[in-house]
Amino acid sequence: MKKNTSTNSNLKKKDLQVNTTDATDQFMTTDQGVRINDDNNTLKAGDRGPSLLEDFIMREKITHFDHERILERIVHARGSAAHGYFQVYESMEKYTKAGFLQDPSIQTPVFTRISTVAGFRGSTDLSRDVRGFSVKFYTQEGNYDLVGNNMPVFFIQDAMKFPDLVHAVKTEPHNEMPQAASAHDTFWDFISLMPESMHMVMWVMSDRAIPRSLRMMEGFGVHTFRFINNKNESHFVKFHWKPLLGTHGVAWNEAQKISGKNSDFHRQDLWDSIESGNFPEWELGVQIIPEADEFKFTFDLLDPTKLIPEEEVPVMKIGKMVLNRNPDNFFAETEQVAFHPGHLVPGIDFSNDPLLQGRLFSYTDTQLSRLGTPNFHELPINRSIAPVHNNQRDGQMRQEINTGRVSYQPNSLGGGCPFQAKMDQGGFVSFNERVDAHKVRERSESFSDHFSQATLFYNSQTDVEKNHIIKALRFELGKVETEAIRARMVNLLSQVDKTLADKVAVGLGITVHKPEKPMNKGVGADADPKKHEPKSVEQKTKSSNALSMIKNPTVTDSIKTKQVAFICADGVHNPSVVSYKNALEKKGAVVKIIAPNLGFLKLEDGKKLKVDQSLLIASSVLFDAVFIPSGKGINALKENKEVAEFITDAFKHCKVIGGEEEGAALIQSIQIIKEAGKKLDEGVVLNKDTTAFIKALGKHRFWEREELV
């Protein structure tokens, strides 16, 4: 035994890793050993044409990626969902024959899932991340899935690069860290070598990546699609979801604290809002571009890293979605729902966006792996409300019991059924787009502008929002250990905005040198580097209010569903609580009573008041505002460190703070309030004026306060 133990303990690391491979100085190959000339572009019919099914390299790469995990989604693993309905405002027959966009009296059932991208199922809701925003419409013509994000652009231009992007942003493979975060070397290594990502980087480093609520978040279809009408006329279309509560975010410091207090913050907020009858609402908007205007822009409509400024093509609001019912079972519905951008109805079609084209292959393959059966469409949450008749049979977990002996077409034994539907009978017919091109593994030169819209986004932000982007980049790149990666990123940022790059560089201790021309790694080995050299093209639109969360036209002064913490103690003045509480709730706000302990408070007049949360559980980061009513008992809170922390954090995070008499005096005794002195803004309301408090709460935040703290 001793001899064997000694022998085993002397096994060398290399002896145990019999399958270890090292790609250093080796050519890239397929799984069959064939050397790959271009790992960056899908095979297409022309550089702006549709992707080809024969692309065995792309299919092998995506298929392997789709099957890298079991059960849990590879991306978008952590999601929340709800049932609801969509109702169009007026018929869209001028642009599309899609049935659910015709009759304003019809409510189309929907199921909407919103998710983070990078983290596992158990990760926090408040990670800095893109949010998936997918809607399944159960229409009378079949299911239609609008599978998008809360940002209108993406990191990459071609689906071939999606596995690389996700491999880079996921936990690093040697130690599986960090969880649900992009602040690490592999992600920024990839980004620093892919200048096409710079526009998306601006979005992800903005407060769009840390929403206040899933109900206060925009959604986008990302890609350019087509509307087809009954005359077979085509219009290009971009989809938008505009929240009726406005678009709001949280501060990064606040997001980190929320993760510690309640990592299910967004999930619980959505659930509680629906349970309380405060149903989330979005308007569906479209940007419609005539076929003849395809090439009138300074960017390519097929490029998923570009958006159409709303100043150039206004968003037409065509209907409203209301989410009014929570799922009955998380696994059966939220987990098992299967979205696919290829789930279309007549009247909606694809463009040749190479990222979209790859998704059309990938999503079916992914669902086969994740749900384990080609019959995933028969699960209740995925089932069409339109009758399903075809010759598909058998397969794992088959639920449909088909009668008869015929499962092929053409047939005579079944009377030729099921019949193929003509176009005027509702049959889906792909748009008859002319394609006359060579097969190439290449990207259109019109996709080479990687910086102008990143600059547009940055220039559209307020000074406060620009500062948040700078701090986010300092935080993210500050976590990167490889100095060369940081330097490459600062160089790329200098192509977006010199001041931005300078300020980020200061935080990283880097000197910004004369900007070098970035190399475009999104090309094949034999591609002409000059043809695909990254560039910036002057934009018609220099600044767009729609790209700023603060200047955004969807911003509203409504306080509906905003959470207000009332900090109270025994001896609190009843009329002070009641008057403020009633005034806020009348406007739709949600008031929670916070006290040192749970149970009931003894009011000044001897009555009792139920406590919703104790100070140990509560935190200002979980609320939109804080109010301290009057009453002699409030004086007992002056020495309470949790109250001081509550007010201090609320002030630092630019929230509304209010108080009456003793409550106001307590607030004024807090060190950070005393230091602000006469520089206190209108977000600090120290009187009985409920109107002033409500008005301040309608502004959401007083971001200029950041200069004080």
Catalytic residue annotation: 76, 149
Please list, in sequence order, all residues whose beta carbon lies within 8 angstroms of the beta carbon of residue 372, skipping any fewer than 6 positions away: 396, 397
Q: Do 565 and 594 contact (CB within 8 A), yes or no?
A: yes
Inter-helix orientation angle 265-275/252-261, to 10°: 80
Q: Please measure the distance between the N-terminal and C-terminal CA atoms of the chain and give it in whole angstroms.
A: 67
CA within 13 Å, CB half, 570 = 8
Phi, psi at residue 289, to the nearest 5°?
-125, 120
For the record, the structure tokens of 331 come out as 């696994």
Q: Do 655 and 542 contact (CB within 8 A), yes or no?
A: no
Distance CA 472, CA 702 (A): 19
Helices (H), 25-173: 56-66, 162-169
Helices (H), 137-233: 162-169, 185-192, 198-204
DSSP, res 334: I
Cis peptide upstream of residue 304 (ω within 30 degrees of 0): no
| Other residues' Cβ atoms within 10 Å of the Cβ of residue 427 | 11
Quickly tell me which residue has 């059960």 as its tokens.
Answer: 71
| Other residues' Cβ atoms within 10 Å of the Cβ of residue 447 | 24
Distance CA 457, CA 450 (A): 12
Q: Do 225 and 236 contact (CB within 8 A), yes or no?
A: yes
**Can you tell me whether residue 248 is helix, strand or coil?**
coil
Of the candidates 539, 582, 584, 520, the one whose C-alpha atom is nearest the C-alpha of residue 558 is 584
Distance CA 232, CA 355 (A): 25
CA within 13 Å, CB half, 379 = 21
For the record, the structure tokens of 196 come out as 């096409």
Please list, in sequence order, all residues whose beta carbon lies within 8 angstroms of the beta carbon of residue 453, skipping any fewer than 6 positions away: 153, 199, 299, 305, 306, 307, 539
Of the candidates 605, 598, 703, 602, the one whose C-alpha atom is nearest the C-alpha of residue 655 is 703
Distance CA 191, CA 408 (A): 49
